[in-house]
Structure 1
């Protein structure tokens, strides 16, 4: 299980425990975290679950698949450290990660 902190654009923090093997989007939606909508249900087809991942955590995440990269290319607030939380799977390695959300997701 991993403790994941989601940080809204206004600085409000939400820390939840996520079971290993569950997507960070699914966990956030089930816990009612504002700013993570997951409109497509985790199909990597909407980018309403985008998060900014701090550089020190980048190496602990799986690589970006072409579909995710394409969705991020269409996001107006996408940055180099953007990822879709539906594509990030909880593991012990992610315990303590802090994810920021863009202003567009509030």
Structure 2
């Protein structure tokens, strides 16, 4: 099964099995990764699943949609590599993806 690596702002690192087709917010909350809240349940109406995608993975992701872009404007400390983990699904190509968590989602 493909894996995602979540790295908290304090450096704690978690390697999680993620089923192909599952979004990274669901995988994080199911595995109790602190820092991913997913307040809206994954419908892209909040920014509490904000992550920083390591740059080498960005080209493998689908482009940011209009709704996600609007929500990222509300995220805490957005960067060029910011994404909402509810909008990103695991694929075989993303095995080993590194997702860094912000200091806070608020």
* TM class by smaller structure: over 0.9
Root-mean-square deviation over aligned CA pairs:
1.2
Q: Secondary structure at the match of 1:99?
A: strand
What TM-score, normalized to structure 2?
A: 0.95
Are 1:12 and 2:15 an aligned pair? no
Deviation at 1:4, TM superposition (A): 0.3
Alpha-carbon offset, residue 76 of structure 1: 3.2
Task: List gaps (5 residues or longer) in structure 1.
Answer: none
What stretches of structure 1 move > 3 A for 4+ residues in a row?
none
Deviations 1:54-83 (A, max 9, x none): 111111111100000000012231111000
**For residues 45 and 105 of structure 1, what CA distance do their matches in structure 2 show?**
14
Alignment TM-score, normalising by the size of structure 1: 0.95
SS of equivalent to 2:83? strand
1:89 aligns with 2:89: yes
Structure 1 residues 75 and 94, CA, compared in 2 at 3 Å: closer, same or farther? same
Residues 1-106 of structure 1 aligned to structure 2 (within 5 Å)? 1-105=1-105
SS in 2 for 1:71: helix
SS in 1 for 2:15: strand
Contact kept? 2:60, 2:93, Cα under 8 Å = yes
How many residue pairs match? The answer is 106
